[in-house]
Amino acid sequence: MRCPYCFTPDCRVIDSRAIDEGHTIRRRRGCQNCGRRFTTFETVEQLPLMVIKHDGTRQVFDKNKLLNGLIRSCEKRDKTLESVVALAHTIEQNLRRHYEQEVPSKAIGEEALAMLKDFDQVAYIRFASVYRRFTDIQSFKKELDILSEQ
């Protein structure tokens, strides 16, 4: 690794630690030439996950779109932002586990609903009402009946 201060090509690793649940390695490095220290991070490079929309078009998966939908569904609930972010991360990891490079948009919504069911039932109904496009009270009641049966 090249020193960012004096550009010496060889620097030694002083300390290494796993962070982000083992997905990232944090390395503390020291330059033998100038004596300065700096930190580097090593992560696995992932290919972008492509979303296949209902109309057949494709776009890059945007975790922020998922996160915004989850935040809206959990609004005024007793859920911390950290727990909602962790939920979005879990949903993304589940999708990456089941789909290599392309995921249907329907699978994203269904995965989010499956995770929300155990996370917060009110948030589940809110998310379902937008995702499933409830048009009348009967659609809403039907979803509530399914939820209460489980």
The one-letter code for the residue type at 132 is R
Do 91 and 20 sit in the same domain of this protein?
no
Do 20 and 76 sit in the same domain of this protein?
no
Do 61 and 35 sit in the same domain of this protein?
no
Residue 14 · residue 37 · CB < 8 Å: yes
Per the structure block, which two tokens stand in for 116? 């929300």
The domain tally of the chain equals: 2
Mean pLDDT, each 10-residue run in order, the chain (150 residues): 93 92 89 95 86 95 95 94 93 92 95 94 91 84 81
Do 71 and 106 sit in the same domain of this protein?
yes
> What is the gyration radius of the CA atoms in the chain, in angstroms?
22
Q: Which of 82, 79, 141 is nearest to 116 (CA)?
A: 79
Angle at 40 between CA 42 and CA 7, to 5 degrees: 125
Query: What is the rounded distance in angstroms from the CA atom of residue 27 to the CA atom of residue 1?
Result: 11
For the stretch 80-113, pLDDT in tens is 999 999 999 999 989 999 998 999 999 999 999 9
